Chain A
Amino acid sequence: MVQTLGEKATRDVLGPTLARLCRDGADIVCVDADLGFSTSAVKFGAEFPERFFPIGVAEQNMIGVAAGLAAAGKVAFCSSFAVFAPGHCFDQLRMAVAQPRTNVKLFASHAGVVTGEDGASAEALEDLALMLSMPPFRVIFPADAVEAEQAIEVAARTDGPFYIRALRPKTAVIHDGDYNFQLGKWPVLREGKDVTLIAVGELVLAALEAAEKLAGEGIQARVLNAASLRPLDEDALLAAAADTGAIVTAEDHFVVGGVGSLVSQVLAEKRPAPVEFVGMRDRYGTSGTWQQLLEYFNLTPDAIAKAARNAIARKSG
């Protein structure tokens, strides 16, 4: 069993972290489209009412107002569910944030099939594709609440557009207090020479569990946490391809436009290696508990281990 440190939803750290940073002097404001209770942004609003702007269920306006606040010097956060932002407001993110590089930070929760009982309409599987299509956005998908808090702090302290992807359920905490999130770094959570498992979000834990299983078969799997999707860690990725010669990506998102695409593109250009993809492919989510849905859609340690065996089998020579 992989050791974990309790459970906490990544979405629950937004408000408290923003409040702490604002107390410390960061010029933070937050625009809210009626989901701040769910994204925890209201915890910032309760402490800094003059800096919290509820604008109703209007995600396009939320992004535009945030861009205006940012252009006037504010660190402008906004939060919603990933199906609504970027889902409802891609053009606003492109025009008012990405192109002029305004200092807007979008924190989008309820991503992926683990959103659970709410069903397909609520389960964003395209948000990373949308956000990664806009080069100015730094894109982060934290693996746990510890990383999420640090990612929010990095976003607040780094000028320019950020997208942080968060999840609804209380997922495992895998990082301890010594963890140090860095933009553009994919930490090696486990060493290995036979295959590299590159995972994001709640599937980082699944990748670690897959590596345990594979170890029982004599396969040594390296595990990378690719939370920093842009900038990505090209050195770590190329080293993984060079050292292990086989790659598996794992994500709770469509493999087209997500981590699988990102990894494949770099490898195709710089160091081709067999890549296997664990993720959503040709269907949308559905209702169920989040744990059931991970099983139902094969986003599991077993699926990752199987993909690893396939990738290893495809190594040439």
Chain B
Amino acid sequence: MAQAPAVSLDQFKEIARRVRRHILEMTTAANSGHPGGSLSAVEIVTAAYFAVMRHDPQNPAWPDRDRWIMSKGHATPVIYSVLAEAGYFPVDELLTFRKLGSRLQGHVVMGNPPGVEMSAGALGMGLSFSLGQALAGRLDRRGYQVYCLLSDGDSEEGQTWEAAMAAAHHKAGNLVAIVDRNHIQNDGYSDLQHFPGNGDRPADVPGGWVLPDGHTANIMNLEPLADKWKAFGWKVWRVADGNDFEQVIPALKEARDYNEGPAVLICETVKGKGVSFMENNPDYHGKAATPEQLKQALGELGFN
């Protein structure tokens, strides 16, 4: 296919609802995995594959395809679910996730399943790889775009900023980065944006601190994040609600169509989006719902 088919807003929402269901079911079936940072990126990844990118599920090695690189390589549930929904492999296979013999490992592996562009799992590596793909596309005069999904944690890795500097330096106009800015990471709250506490910051601690439940608050404040990207030479778009298709789709298209240099979307999202007990809860960064919780979660999404 040359261009993703026109899909109505309701249809996008329905795909996203199914993707959320997959994410929850596959992680519960695996009794492990990373639902939180997958749920936060559902609209971003779905929009890319169904509204923005040129790709062909029947021909994943098509040299002119747009590339989607998961730098946040732990968010396999969302990329596997979207790839399955797009037709890269059977939806039934999602329930083999993380099991012996499955193509669907816990973190992304290049080519497994078809459509996965890069191996990742150690944060910070995706943008460099994406830049390499972008430079090769320009050298070969192919018109493809490269998209790279970054997390808060990715944004803390030095390599991401090495790549950011180099991408602007080389004027990689076919490169788009998307930050899934959900403000929560493995140990807890990246900053105070979604931190529910108030007034319990130890007076003599300038950085982060450990909370009574073991999570860490204020792990690493990235702000002003947009200014950082601008200072590194990138065109920056802020997306106030990265879980809203009506904001995400036009922003992705604008970034795609900007070709003077690399472009980044900073998408404000909600970790665990769509499931009440997972939203903004660091517990579900790397933990699956129990079978009972799964029932509740599916009910909240309107599945009975």
What is the interface of chain A, defined by CB distance below 8 A to chain B? Answer: 29, 31, 50-51, 53, 55-56, 58, 60-61, 63-74, 76, 91-92, 95-96, 99-100, 102
B121 and A95 contact, CB distance less than 8 A? yes
Question: Which of B111, B119, B136, B169 is A95 in contact with, Cβ under 8 Å?
Answer: B119
Given A65-B166, A92-B159: A100 and B128 within 8 A (CB)?
no
Residues in A whose Cβ lies below 8 Å from that of B169: 55-56
A60 and B109 contact, CB distance less than 8 A? no
A74 to B135 CA separation, bound complex (whole angstroms): 11
B122 and A95 contact, CB distance less than 8 A? yes
Q: Mark B105-147, 1 if CB is under 8 A from A, else 0.
A: 0000111000001111110111111111111110110000000
A69 and B136 contact, CB distance less than 8 A? yes
* Interface residue SS majority, chain B: helix
Given contacts A29-B139, A65-B135, A96-B119, 12 further A-B contacts (CB under 8 A): A55-B170, A56-B166, A58-B165, A60-B125, A61-B128, A68-B118, A69-B133, A71-B110, A73-B63, A74-B136, A96-B129, A99-B109
A61 and B159 contact, CB distance less than 8 A? yes
Question: Which of A51, A66, A100 is B119 in contact with, Cβ under 8 Å?
Answer: A100
CB of A309, distance to nearest CB on chain B (Å): 48
Residues in A whose Cβ lies below 8 Å from that of B135: 29, 53, 65, 68-69
User: Closest A-chain residue to B71, C-beta based?
Assistant: A64
A91 to B139 CA separation, bound complex (whole angstroms): 27
B162 and A58 contact, CB distance less than 8 A? yes
B110 and A65 contact, CB distance less than 8 A? no
User: Closest B-chain residue to A92, C-beta based?
Assistant: B125
A69 to B125 CA separation, bound complex (whole angstroms): 14
A63 to B128 CA separation, bound complex (whole angstroms): 8
A94 to B117 CA separation, bound complex (whole angstroms): 16
A192 to B227 CA separation, bound complex (whole angstroms): 69
Q: Which of A60, A73, A92 has the most CB of B within 10 A?
A: A60
Given A68-B131, A68-B132, A99-B109: A91 and B166 within 8 A (CB)?
no
B158 within 8 A of A: yes
Q: Mark B150-169, 1 if CB is under 8 A from A, else 0.
A: 00000000110011011001
Question: Which of A64, A73, A91 is B136 in contact with, Cβ under 8 Å?
Answer: A73
B166 and A58 contact, CB distance less than 8 A? yes
CB of A22, distance to nearest CB on chain B (Å): 12
A72 and B140 contact, CB distance less than 8 A? yes
Given A95-B119, A100-B111: A64 and B163 within 8 A (CB)?
yes
List residues 78-126 of chain B with CB under 8 A from any CB of chain A. 109-111, 117-122, 124-126
14 sampled A-B residue pairs with Cβ under 8 A: A55-B170, A60-B125, A60-B128, A61-B131, A63-B128, A64-B129, A66-B132, A68-B130, A70-B132, A72-B63, A76-B132, A96-B129, A99-B110, A99-B119
Residues in B whose Cβ lies below 8 Å from that of A92: 125, 128, 159
Residues in A whose Cβ lies below 8 Å from that of B132: 31, 64-72, 76
A31 to B136 CA separation, bound complex (whole angstroms): 12
A31 to B134 CA separation, bound complex (whole angstroms): 14
CB of B20, distance to nearest CB on chain A (Å): 28
A96 to B122 CA separation, bound complex (whole angstroms): 10
User: Closest B-chain residue to A65, C-beta based?
Assistant: B132
B111 and A64 contact, CB distance less than 8 A? no
User: Closest B-chain residue to A99, C-beta based?
Assistant: B119
